[in-house]
Amino acid sequence: MPLRSTDVIPLAPALGLRQNGDVGTSSASDLLITVFGELMRPAGGSAWTQTLVAALGLLDVEDKAARQAISRLGAKGWMTSERIGRKSRWQLTAWATDLLVRGAERIYSLGADDRPWNGEWLVLLASVPETHRPLRSRLAVQLGWAGFGSLGQGVWVSPRVEREPEAATIVSNLDVDNAVLFRSAMTDIGSPLDLAERAWPPGPLASRYEVFLSQLDTPAMLDDTTTTRRLLELVDTWRRFPLIDPDLPLELRPADWPGERAAQEFARRRSAWAGSGADWWTATESSFE
């Protein structure tokens, strides 16, 4: 079945990617989407307004800003609401649930794929004239999100050949003329590792992973409220990495790649704190019944 445009593009902004490629600080709406994915969807996908406000309050979002974020995402189709007495109960839509499921897969699988690479590359030739700078920018952002690296002159590569449908959908949605997409393998001339370092300079990303690792503390079990806050902060920070990390196969990563250690530490802390998050959510929901 052919992919729809909604199968590819919305996932990036859902994880916090702006149209200009910025992955900066989270807005109240960004944080609310983290709450959706980490607490609300696993608990059945519905919540009282007060529960959502309380969850954002753990992240220092004020009541007014929290309610504005709830209304904003409701208007964008993330949730529908139902009046029950004097209160409102929100339900994630099927569209939002699908988006969250795919987003979770992308976020939590980062760095976990250790399948051997077969040496095959996906190559996209997609040149956009200098006179169409907005289109060039959107193309670069969306291909970057899909895990493609640029070799210059409109040449994009990815070792993840399974992402061919994403690339094809991006090119089609943006109406890029004369694009060519094919699979290829390198000859004895050139090094795959050198090509990867050219397409994805590792220095800046390695530095971000090192900062992430330096800010981690011992994943101690505290009270449910404090642990839930730590869980949401952890996930909100980690969800930016899939937007900037192409998740290269092991064979193409630099030696002692800090992303591997970061992925392991993220998974360890999330696993340790998830139970407290679920308990906090259940207790908070019950308090507003």
CA distance 182 to 180: 7
The verdict on residue 71 lying in a domain is yes
Residues 241 and 172 in one domain: no
Q: What is the pLDDT of residues 110-154, one digit of tens each?
A: 888 778 999 999 999 998 877 788 888 888 888 888 889 999 989
What was the pLDDT predicted at 29? Answer: 93
Residues 99 and 208 in one domain: yes
Q: Lowest-pLDDT range, 111-120, 179-188, 259-268?
A: 111-120
Residues 48 and 151 in one domain: no
pLDDT, averaged across the chain: 88
Residues 214 and 248 in one domain: yes
What does the block give as tokens for 247? 């998740």
The verdict on residue 242 lying in a domain is yes
Residues 256 and 233 in one domain: yes
Q: Quick check: 236 and 184 in contact, CB under 8 A?
A: no
CA distance 145 to 273: 28
Mean pLDDT of 220-224: 82
The DSSP letter of residue 50 is H
User: Higher-confidence residue: 35 or 169?
Assistant: 35
The verdict on residue 10 lying in a domain is yes
Q: Is the pLDDT of residue 76 over 70?
A: yes
Residues 99 and 237 in one domain: yes
Percent of the chain whose pLDDT exceeds 70: 90
Mean pLDDT of 220-227: 87
The verdict on residue 256 lying in a domain is yes
First to last CA, the chain: 43
- Nearest residue to 35 via CA among 89, 84, 100: 100
**CATH code assigned at 262:** 1.10.10.10
Q: What is the pLDDT of residues 4-54, one digit of tens each?
A: 333 444 455 555 555 444 555 678 999 999 999 999 999 999 999 999 999
The verdict on residue 194 lying in a domain is no
pTM score, two decimals? 0.84
Mean pLDDT of 243-267: 92
CA distance 128 to 247: 26
Residues 97 and 209 in one domain: yes
CA distance 141 to 244: 10
The verdict on residue 144 lying in a domain is yes
Burial code of 137-147, b = ≥16 C-beta within 10 A, e = fewer?
Answer: ebbbbbbbbbb
What does the block give as tokens for 284? 């908070």
Residues 214 and 284 in one domain: yes
Q: Is the pLDDT of residue 197 over 70?
A: yes
Q: Which domain holds residue 240?
A: 1-115+201-289
Counted domains in the chain: 2
The verdict on residue 165 lying in a domain is yes
